[in-house]
Structure 1
Amino acid sequence: MNTLNALSLNNTRRAENLIIVFNRVPKVGSQTFMELLRRLAERNNFEFHRDSVQRIETIRLKPSHQQELAETISALPVPSAYTKHVCFTNFTKFNLPRPIYVNLVRDPVERIISWFYYIRAPWYYVERKQAFPDLPLPDSRWLRKDFQECVLKGDPECTYTQGATHEGIGDHRRQTLFFCGHEDECTPFNSESALERAKYAVETQYSVVGILEDMDTTLTVFEKYIPQFFAGASEIYHNEIQKFNKINKNSFKSPVSEEVKNLLRQNFSREIEFYNFCKQRLHTQFLAANLMDLN
């Protein structure tokens, strides 16, 4: 990333299978991006696939389940796009062709605030109850929690202990986990090892990692680096999706002060470093693509 070389930044040309894998991080605009992929599938003649809604989301898989996932995706007709909340899975480890990996990231502190209120939104539980009628409803006191108060009171839900681990989709704190992979060393929160593994995966395996806060640059880079799938992405996003559809927009979020955000940033230092790394790479790709021919 020290040179504006579009070819060296273009992992798409290293793909061995015309299948997009969007192993989506929660609360980074992934629902909107999935809707964009659906519409692009019609425009650009590829198939769109997503995993089924699950009662318990498992994102870190055993090797046998990693292989099963990789085989399922590899068997899709080409060209296709597939999306699932899951850690980066190395297809070549199972002697399967390398797909085109993409993802999005978001400011880590804004993302955890968004998640806190997202899982308390009324429509979230309506959707969950419709899918799984026997799910119990949460305690009303839990639903009424305020994020800022939760942080300042040292509530365990809003305490982000360095090196702590949690399993499942509930461990919403770490974007790096989705890039680091399934190994145990990827699980400790805000760890140096998980950070470096995640950076390496982005540099060597991902065609594009977009930034939620900069969708114009993000969509331009997608169009430049993966044109077969993303031609027309900016037009569809601005004219059809952003203009008319606020997917998963939560009007129940309470404001959080900069003082509290700064407290959180101290614990999210490596997650923030990873976010800034992805942002730098995206902007470098943007500049390189405008200076050189990618073909």
Structure 2
Amino acid sequence: MMKNFSGSPLHSNNQTSNHFRERNNKQHCLLWAVPLRFSLRGYGFCMATLFLFCFGSLFYQLNGGPPEILLGIRQYLGKSTYLDDHRQPPPGVLPFPSQVVYNRVGKCGSRTVVILLRLLSEKHQFTLVSSDIHNKTRLTTYEQVDLMKNITNIPQPYLYTRHVHYLNFSRFRVEQPVYINIIRDPINRFVSNYFFRRFGDWRGEQNHLIRTPSMKDDERYLDINVCILENYPECSNPRVFYIIPYFCGQHPQCREPGVWALERAKQNVMENYLLVGILEELEDVLVLLERLLPHYFTGVLDIFKSPHFMKMGNMTGTVRKHTPTLEALQVLYHRMRYEYEFYDFVRNQFHLTKKKIGLKSISKPPAYPPAFLQELARRTQEPLEEDEELDSDLENANSWLVQS
């Protein structure tokens, strides 16, 4: 007799055991596959995030600022953070900056401001370091690092000033100081520099002739109109492309007249400068500096308007200076079109700052409006000039400070 083993207890137990074993194996395989799938996704996400972060950081360092895409993302996501949402809002008072750099532009009133700073440093007890290097504005990478180290070792609070193109401290992981500067109508600056190089100021033309013995007479007495119209190197690009590199920086392309240098200079003004004023409104510049940097500039207008200080300024106007012809001015204006676009940008930003701070004043029109050059008389009051003899001026200023 055949027995039906399918109904036997032994077969039933084996079948049940196999069933549970097969189900457990399936569950084990499923549980093993799920973490693997998620770990691969997570790994890919982490690697992509790390790559974007490294690429963005590298791009930031190489270009001296955040790339447009990161700025766009930040604007899209908003600038708030957890701490911003869970703490008291910061006070609306500008903190006291202990590191200020004034990378002064030549022939833009820096002599006036440096002498004022000399007097103010004595009054407010901050360290003023005014470099005696006037003809080296472009630095190698090694020279940039060395200068930054020297600057950051100055006892704080300090104000460092020198004729040098903008230095990006953050590129070398050095704390970025506060930047300030002043510029001037580009043609006015050029004309003033042209004649000052040849004849100096009212302190004595003969002294200036001694200081520039290498300049031959045919160069010294070269008519400025001939220089411009016949396209002498001194009166053409890249020599007349002068102001923008001070704000663009140390990149080689900053010295090439064009849109790239112009836009980078504008970006630096917006992101890295506390204030860029214009010499045509110097008194308003001093008012704003006193408001924004009171620990450095409090009382600056009292000194600036004092008879003793004005007397010093009367001896430093450039001699033999005269206005080029209308034809020469038009040619020069065309060569300096990027300089004028930058000047107009800075001028508008300066007026906007005045408006925000509540400073009401009558704004003077540009010396050479594009309309075009209907009035040739320069409207810029002559500032104290260049820095070659700054030491003697500072001695005079210091003696006046002691007497007053």
TM range (shorter): 0.7 to 0.9
Name structure 1 gaps, 5 residues minimum.
1-9, 166-170
Residue identity in the other structure for 2:160 = Y
- Of the three residues 76, 101, 117, the one matched with 2:154 is 76
Q: Give the SS at the match of 1:157.
A: helix
Aligned length: 264
Matched, 1:148 2:225: yes
Aligned partners of 2:133 and 2:163 also within 8 Å: no
- TM-score of the aligned structures, taking structure 2 as reference length: 0.61
Matched, 1:87 2:165: yes
Matched, 1:177 2:245: yes
- Of the three residues 108, 111, 115, the one matched with 2:193 is 115
Identity of aligned residues (%): 29
Partners of 2:130 and 2:155 lie apart in 1 by 14
- TM-score of the aligned structures, taking structure 1 as reference length: 0.82
Which structure 1 residue ranges, 4+ long, deviate > 4 Å from structure 2? 10-13, 122-125, 127-130
* Matching residue of 1:192: 259
Q: Which has the larger radius of gyration?
A: 2
- Of the three residues 88, 94, 111, the one matched with 1:31 is 111
Cα drift, residue 138 of structure 1: 1.4
- Of the three residues 286, 296, 305, the one matched with 1:238 is 305
Residue identity in the other structure for 1:119 = R
Partners of 1:207 and 1:248 lie apart in 2 by 29
Aligned partners of 1:46 and 1:81 also within 8 Å: yes
* Matching residue of 2:354: 286
- Of the three residues 163, 175, 179, the one matched with 1:101 is 179
* Matching residue of 1:7: none
Cα drift, residue 128 of structure 1: 8.9
**CA RMSD, aligned part only?**
2.5
- Of the three residues 240, 249, 261, the one matched with 2:317 is 249
Cα drift, residue 152 of structure 1: 2.6
Comparing 144-153 and 118-127, the one that deviates more:
118-127
* Matching residue of 2:285: 218
Q: Give the SS at the match of 2:312.
A: coil
> What pairs up with 1:6-21 in 2 under 5 angstroms?
13=95, 18-21=98-101
- CA deviation profile, 1:218-264 (whole Å, cap 9, x unmatched): 11111111111111122211215652122642122122234422221
Partners of 1:195 and 1:84 lie apart in 2 by 22
Cα drift, residue 136 of structure 1: 4.5
Matched, 1:204 2:284: no
- CA deviation profile, 1:50-107 (whole Å, cap 9, x unmatched): 11246xx221111111111111111101111111111110112222222111111001
Residue identity in the other structure for 2:216 = D
Partners of 1:90 and 1:181 lie apart in 2 by 7
Higher relative contact order (CA 8 A, sep 6+): 1
Q: Give the SS at the match of 1:110.
A: helix
Name structure 2 gaps, 5 residues minimum.
1-91, 360-404
Q: Give the SS at the match of 2:328.
A: helix
Partners of 2:308 and 2:246 lie apart in 1 by 26
Comparing 204-213 and 37-46, the one that deviates more:
37-46
- CA deviation profile, 1:150-201 (whole Å, cap 9, x unmatched): 22333333233xxxx4xxxxx4632010000000110112x10000000011
Cα distance change of structure 1 residues 112 and 241 upon mapping to structure 2, 3 Å threshold: farther
